[in-house]
C-alpha cells in the first residue's frame, strides 16, 4: 500500500511543479513594490478562464499532496 502512495505522491509532486510553472508571473509585479512602479499591483482583479482553472488545480493538488504525505507519515 505504501508503494502505491509513494508513487502517487511522486506523480502529484511533478504535477504541482508543472502547474506552478504554467501560472502567470506575479513575482515580477511584486518586485515593483520597492520602486513604486506598479499601482495596479493591489487592484482587486479577478482570475478568469484558464488562470482560474490553473489556480484551482494548484490548490487541489496541494491538498492531495498534504493528505498523501500525512497518510504516509502516520502509517
User: pLDDT tens digit string along 22-63?
Assistant: 887 665 555 555 666 555 555 666 777 888 889 899 999 999
Full DSSP string of 25-43: --HHHHTHHHHT--GGGGS
pLDDT of residue 51: 85
pLDDT of residue 49: 83
Domain boundaries, the chain: 2-74
Closest CA to 69 of 4, 6, 14, 20: 6
CA-based diameter of the chain, in Å? 53
pLDDT of residue 14: 97
pLDDT of residue 5: 94
What pTM does this model have? Answer: 0.72
Q: Which residue has the higher pLDDT, 41 or 66?
A: 66
Amino acid at each position: 500500500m505504501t508503494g502505491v502512495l509513494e508513487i502517487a505522491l511522486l506523480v502529484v509532486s511533478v504535477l504541482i511543479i508543472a502547474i506552478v510553472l504554467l501560472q502567470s508571473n506575479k513575482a515580477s509585479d511584486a518586485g515593483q513594490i520597492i520602486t513604486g512602479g506598479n499601482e495596479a499591483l493591489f487592484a482587486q482583479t479577478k482570475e478568469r478562464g484558464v488562470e482560474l482553472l490553473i489556480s484551482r488545480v494548484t490548490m487541489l493538488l496541494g491538498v492531495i499532496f498534504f493528505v498523501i504525505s500525512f497518510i504516509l507519515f502516520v502509517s
